[in-house]
């Protein structure tokens, strides 16, 4: 079975555990935290290694969940994943869960790269433009890159909207060069 | 079959010597007698008969073959003579036609040379035109490439300069204006 199908199945199962949006958000955040720990380079090798027994992997996952103080449903969910030998699929499950939850909540995500750190008003202004295009709420991930000189570059649903000064200058130079 | 020539030779020798033996006893010159004449006649007749009997066919074959060979040689010689005469006649004709042939060949060569010279001249002109065209194209291409390189260099320099200037003087209102422009473009795209 392909990893994406597996991830979808587990993500759908977790989403079906509650009808409350807030609860689903909390679980999503917890699953992402757990996935970050499991997917970290120092842990990923251990969880993927066939030399480490499944029992030991399960024990390690439980310890991590305990340290992260995860809620009971998420701990149970992680235990089920571990028992099914799907720990290494946890990052994919977290990603799929987040996308499915976003769809459910009628929202999408965008990566915004500003030339300088934006204030709240600027961020809200840009988000309003992106939400007009997407037709739903946009959750931003903000980066800063001084090489842009000015403006912003937004990546939304697979498309890039470039409003940076650097790209304008590059375009102007290209036109000048003929 | 092998003894036959020996026997023939022995008989011929005997017939030739017998008259000598017959006259060997006569040491003095004696007048001829009828008996001697008859003897000689018979002797000669025997001689002729023997020759005809044993060597006639050989001699006849020899002379027939010889005659045939001579006739053949004469025929070949006549044929060769005729051929020589024909060759001589042709050579004479060719010799007679030589000046005209020389004139014809000379005229042909002159005509061909003129034609070839015209062809070479035409090819030379064509080559010259082609070289001119190629040279013009090459110059145009080099000029175009040079202009393009110059434009590119200028564009790179202008971009670098613009980046430096803009970066140095870029302020918060500029960022606000850029973001407003960006949002305006997004809104326009959303409407479309």
Query: pLDDT for B100-159, tens place per residue?
Result: 889 999 999 999 999 999 999 999 999 999 999 999 999 999 999 998 899 889 888 988
* Residue A86 sits in the same domain as residue A19: yes
pLDDT computed for residue B107 by the predictor: 95
Q: For residue A50, what is the domain's CATH number? A: 1.10.520.20
Contacts of A140 in chain B (CB under 8 A): none
Average the pLDDT over A90-107 and give the result: 90
Q: Enumerate the residues of chain B whose CB falls inside 8 A of the CB of residue A178.
A: 148, 151
Would B10 be classed as within a structural domain? yes
Predicted confidence (pLDDT) per residue in B133-149, tens digit: 999 999 999 999 998 89
Query: Is residue B12 one of the residues assigned to a domain?
Result: yes
pLDDT of residue A6: 87
A170 with B159: CB under 8 angstroms? yes
Task: Compare all CA atoms of chain B with the CA of A135 and give the residue at the minimum distance.
Answer: B190
Please list every residue in chain B whose beta carbon sits closer than 8 Å to the beta carbon of residue A163.
178-179, 181-182, 185
Average pLDDT of B49-55? 89
Is A97 in the same domain as A26? yes
Mutate one of B183, B184, B191, B192 to test the A interface: name it (highest A CB count within 10 A).
B183
Please give the angle made by the CA atoms of B68, B71 and B77, to the nearest 5 degrees. Answer: 140
Of A88, A103, A118, the domain-final residue: A103
Dump strand ranges (E) for A41-117: 107-114
Which of A56, A79, A103 is the last residue before a domain boundary?
A103
Residues A72 and A127 in one domain: no
Q: Which of B155, B175, B186 is nearest residue A161 as measured by Cβ atoms?
A: B186
For residues A27 and A18, the answer to whether their CB atoms sit within 8 Å is yes
Residue A43 has pLDDT above 90, yes or no: no
Which stretches does DSSP call E strand in chain A? 107-114, 137-144, 151-156, 159-164
Nearest by CB: B178 against A151, A174, A177? A151
How many domains would you assign to chain A?
2
Q: Which residues of B touch A170 (CB under 8 A)?
A: 159
**pLDDT at A97 exceeding the cut of 80:** yes
Is B142 within a domain? no
ipTM of the complex: 0.71
Q: Specify the number of domains making up chain B.
A: 1
Asked if B162 contacts A169 with a C-beta cutoff of 8 angstroms, the reply is yes
Tell me if B186 and A132 make a contact (CB, 8 A cut-off). Answer: yes
| B146-149 contacts at long range (C-beta below 8 A, 24 or more positions apart) | B148/A177, B148/A178
Give how far B169 is from chain A: nearest CA, Å. Answer: 10
B184 in a domain, yes or no? no
Q: Identify the pLDDT of residue A39.
A: 85
Chain A residue numbers touching B190 (CB-CB < 8 A): 129, 132-133
* Residues A37, A92 within the same domain: yes
pLDDT at B124: 95
Contact flag B189-A163 (C-beta cutoff 8 Å)? no
| B108 sits in which H/E element | helix B56-169
Q: Is the domain of A153 the same as that of A79? A: no
A74 burial via Cβ count (<10 Å: 0-12, 13-18, 19+): buried
Q: Supply the range of the domain harboring residue B7.
A: 1-19+36-54
A2 pLDDT above the threshold of 60: no
As a residue count, chain B comes to: 192
Query: Are residues A169 and B152, on separate chains, in Cβ contact within 8 Å?
Result: no
């Amino acid at each position: 079975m392909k990893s994406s199908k597996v991830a979808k199945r587990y993500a759908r199962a977790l989403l079906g555990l509650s009808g409350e949006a807030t609860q689903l958000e909390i679980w999503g955040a917890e699953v992402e935290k757990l996935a970050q720990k499991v997917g970290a380079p120092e842990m990923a090798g251990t969880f993927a290694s066939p030399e480490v027994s499944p029992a030991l992997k399960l024990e390690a996952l439980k310890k991590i969940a305990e340290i992260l103080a995860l809620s009971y449903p998420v701990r149970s969910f992680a235990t089920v994943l571990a028992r099914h030998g799907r720990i290494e699929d946890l990052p994919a499950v977290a990603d799929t869960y987040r996308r499915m939850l976003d769809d459910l909540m009628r929202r999408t995500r965008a990566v915004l790269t500003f030339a300088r750190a934006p204030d709240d008003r600027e961020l809200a202004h840009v988000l309003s433009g992106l939400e007009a295009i997407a037709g739903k709420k946009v959750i931003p991930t903000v980066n800063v890159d001084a090489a842009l000189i000015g403006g912003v570059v937004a990546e939304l649903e697979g498309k890039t909207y470039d409003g940076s000064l650097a790209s304008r200058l590059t375009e102007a130079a290209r036109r000048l060069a003929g | 079959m092998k003894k036959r020539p020996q026997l023939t030779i022995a008989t011929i020798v005997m017939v030739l010597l017998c008259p000598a033996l017959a006259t060997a006893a006569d040491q003095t010159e004696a007048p001829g007698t009828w008996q001697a004449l008859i003897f000689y006649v018979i002797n000669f007749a025997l001689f002729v008969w023997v020759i005809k009997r044993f060597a006639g066919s050989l001699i006849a074959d020899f002379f027939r073959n010889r005659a045939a060979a001579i006739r053949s040689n004469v025929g070949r010689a006549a044929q060769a003579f005729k051929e020589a005469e024909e060759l001589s006649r042709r050579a004479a004709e060719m010799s007679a036609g030589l000046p005209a042939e020389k004139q014809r060949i000379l005229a042909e060569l002159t005509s061909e040379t003129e034609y070839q010279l015209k062809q070479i001249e035409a090819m030379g002109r064509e080559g010259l035109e082609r070289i001119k065209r190629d040279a013009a194209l090459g110059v145009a291409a080099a000029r175009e490439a040079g202009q393009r390189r110059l434009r590119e260099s200028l564009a790179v320099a202008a971009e670098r300069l613009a980046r430096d200037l803009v970066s140095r003087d870029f302020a918060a209102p500029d960022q606000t204006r850029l973001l407003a422009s960006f949002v305006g473009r997004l809104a326009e795209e959303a409407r479309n």
